[in-house]
Structure 1
Amino acid sequence: MKVSRWRRLAHRIHHTATHGRLALARRARRIRDWALARRRTAWSQILRGICFGSGSGLITLIIFWLTHR
């Protein structure tokens, strides 16, 4: 028997509302665990962006300095 997507969603919402705090705590823990697992990746992307941005800025300043020298 195939259950529709909306029926599963309605069941999940009802279940979450029924169990209240426990479900909320479980969801918060899952979000926290997800963020902790991906923290290293996020920081590496931030560092990469900073390096690319500062490198581009430095090259721009050098070219500007050379053309106006």
Structure 2
Amino acid sequence: MSPTMNQMREAQRALETPLFSGLPGDIDVSFEFFPPKTEKMGETLWQSVETLRPLGPRFASVT
């Protein structure tokens, strides 16, 4: 499943919005994904990883 335009806009807005600007220091984020069960889901996983990459996660896991 490919991200919808709304999901892409929300991701872009999240990248541009300083949600934690009032907190001192940097915020570390991480992401957890479910393992893909199909080739198409694998493609979606990697698209999601690339979409989230600009957030600079400390790590990502597949569980």
TM-score, scaled relative to structure 2: 0.29
Name whichever structure is richer in strand by fraction.
2
Larger Rg: 1
TM-score (norm 1): 0.27
Q: Which has the higher contact order (CA 8 A, sep 6+)?
A: 2
